[in-house]
Amino acid sequence: MKWYRYGVLLLVGMLTLGGSLAIAQPESPFKEQLVYSLTSFNGSSFSKNFCPQSEDTIYLIAHENSVVTPVKTIVYYWPITRRYMAGFSTLNERINGKLEIVHNGKVIATQPEQKYVLYYPKGYWSEKAVMYLDEEAENYYKKYKQAVDVFNQKLREYYQAMERYREVLNRFFEEVRRRREAGEEGPLNIPIPKEPKAPDFVDFYTSEPASGFILNLPPGKYEIRLRRDDGTIFEGSEKKLFVFTSRRKGGVGYEIIPGNRWTKKENCDDPSWIIHAVGKNDLYFNPYKQEEYNELYYNKLVDPQEIGRLERFKWVHIDPIENVTLLFGRGKEILQTVERTPYFVKQIPGPELGYEIIQYDEELKKKGYQPTFESYKVSLPPHLPKTDYQISLVSSGSGQPEEKSERTVRMLKKENAPYLYLVAFLPLFVGVVTIIGRATKIEK
């Protein structure tokens, strides 16, 4: 009977273990959480993100409108990116109340919700946006909707005109065929049908009106919290608020698009930095006004879960510089005078998936294509002597130089290019030698 007793004990143990496992289920990674949805002014436009419970501080730029909106949503941790994600498409419940702003332990303001829109003067994909509030927000949105309605009406008329054009074109070709078959030679003097022109889409954009708490504060440390209508504080709504400003303003920063890898944009923001070029290439320069911000503060502004170094500063491009001419030369000799020009990136069919950057023209416009980007193109031919050159900006009207727009372009010999990799790997080589040396001493 021993086997019977052992069987009963084994069965009881399995049931007990199964019950324990059922009770000790892992905690669900998906949690309902109050977060702040953020529309933060970043110097030229607005960054959209959210601040989860894991972050205790919201960072904003001083003296500029930004929006914080408390919502209840689903939050989960994504190990691949090591950050919390929000499922706004699953749950996006607005939290009613008033936002209190606290400074030095005292409530200095109680903010009601306000309606706002983001207005993009040069279209949604442009780098500049302006926030409008309340009645102005409604007016700008109505202006955009009216412009879209006018465009849609013109588009319908265009489609109708295209149908008529195709009918007339078919009759034209039929008439040409008939008269040629009848033996008529020479010019036929038949008017060629003119293809209708497609309407241009609305050249600006206004977001749909939304509501949130508008914050516009001087530099300093604050706290915010959401108070319910019954006077209680909503749990999880208390956050620190750090409002900062730039350390330096002025000067010119460049975004550089290499012609041989146009998706890999690089920046040259400090006048002391040198632009290195190897071999034949085209460089596309986009100049910007810029401001310098603390790296940690600015990174946290754009994304509250981002990291940064408190002791470092970074240049931020604010506004594109317009109505200027770019000069490329050596010493006092001007080799190229460049104006801002639109370009189109054309895909090259084939297994290598290449591309070609061509100047945007009327032919591309007639086909319905839009410019991929606008820029100042500097061509570096292979016969150019391998030495230092300079770029700078002057006003297109007065010819006056733009302050701090000078940069050095250093042409490197292609046969010396591998040495750049040696320089890059030098710290790694020193580290390996140090580790080997220490290991040898330990063994002795």
CATH number for position 362: 2.70.50
Q: What is the pLDDT of residues 361-410, one digit of tens each?
A: 988 887 778 888 899 999 998 888 888 999 999 999 888 999 999 999 99
Quick check: 34 pLDDT over 70? yes
Structural tokens at position 130: 């302006």
Residue at 180 is within a domain = yes
Residue at 439 is within a domain = no
CA atoms within 13 A on the CB side of 403: 5
- Domain end marker among 197, 223, 245: 245
For the residues 167-187, what does the mean pLDDT come to?
A: 87
Confidence of residue 4 (pLDDT cuts 50, 70, 90): very low
Amino acid (one-letter) located at 303? D
Same domain as 237, residue 103 = yes
Quick check: 190 pLDDT over 90? no
- DSSP-derived letter for residue 264 is S
Residue 214: exposed, middle, or buried by beta-carbon count in 10 A (0-12, 13-18, 19+)?
Answer: buried
Structural tokens at position 367: 């086909």
Cβ atoms of 288 and 263 within 8 Å: the answer is no
Percent of the chain residues past pLDDT 90, beyond the cut: 63
Same domain as 318, residue 225 = no
Q: What is the pLDDT of residues 201-243, one digit of tens each?
A: 899 999 999 999 999 999 999 999 999 989 899 999 999 999 9
Residue at 426 is within a domain = no
Confidence of residue 314 (pLDDT cuts 50, 70, 90): very high
Same domain as 119, residue 94 = yes
Same domain as 254, residue 188 = no
State pTM to two decimals. 0.79
Same domain as 283, residue 160 = no
Exposure letters 310-319 (e unless 16+ CB within 10 A, then b): eeebbbbbbe
Q: How many domains does the chain have?
A: 2
Same domain as 40, residue 134 = yes
Q: Which of 159, 244, 229 is nearest to 196 (CA)?
A: 159
Structural tokens at position 315: 């240049």
Cα 292 to chain centroid distance, Å, stands at: 18
Same domain as 375, residue 286 = yes
Integer Cα distance of 191 and 193 in angstroms = 6
Domain hosting 210: range is: 33-245
Q: Which helix (H) or strand (E) holds 379?
A: strand 373-380
Structural tokens at position 195: 């293809």
The residue among 38 and 443 whose pLDDT is bigger is 38
Cβ atoms of 209 and 138 within 8 Å: the answer is yes
The mean pLDDT value of the chain amounts to 87
Q: What is the pLDDT of residues 323-342, one digit of tens each?
A: 999 999 998 899 999 999 99
Quick check: 3 pLDDT over 50? no
**pLDDT at res. 355:** 83
- In SS3 terms, 239-253 reads as EEEEEECCCEEEEEE
Confidence of residue 293 (pLDDT cuts 50, 70, 90): very high
Confidence of residue 124 (pLDDT cuts 50, 70, 90): confident
Q: Which of 421, 400, 401, 420 is nearest to 410 (CA)?
A: 420
Integer Cα distance of 171 and 266 in angstroms = 55
Same domain as 234, residue 264 = no
Residue at 419 is within a domain = no
φ, ψ (nearest 5 deg) of residue 232 = -90, 155
Integer Cα distance of 125 and 287 in angstroms = 18
Cβ atoms of 408 and 319 within 8 Å: the answer is no
For the residues 252-278, what does the mean pLDDT come to?
A: 90
Amino acid (one-letter) located at 175? E
Same domain as 225, residue 284 = no
Percent of the chain residues past pLDDT 70, beyond the cut: 87
Integer Cα distance of 323 and 399 in angstroms = 10
Helix (H, G, I), strand (E, B) or coil at 259: coil
- Listed as own residue / partner, the contacts of 419-427 with beta carbons closer than 8 Å and 24 or more positions apart are 420/276
**Cβ neighbours of residue 178 under 8 Å, at least 6 residues apart?**
none
Q: What is the pLDDT of residues 403-433, one digit of tens each?
A: 999 999 998 876 555 555 565 566 776 677 7
For the residues 40-50, what does the mean pLDDT come to?
A: 94
Q: Which of 167, 188, 168 is nearest to 177 (CA)?
A: 188
Confidence of residue 260 (pLDDT cuts 50, 70, 90): confident
Integer Cα distance of 136 and 143 in angstroms = 10
Quick check: 17 pLDDT over 50? no
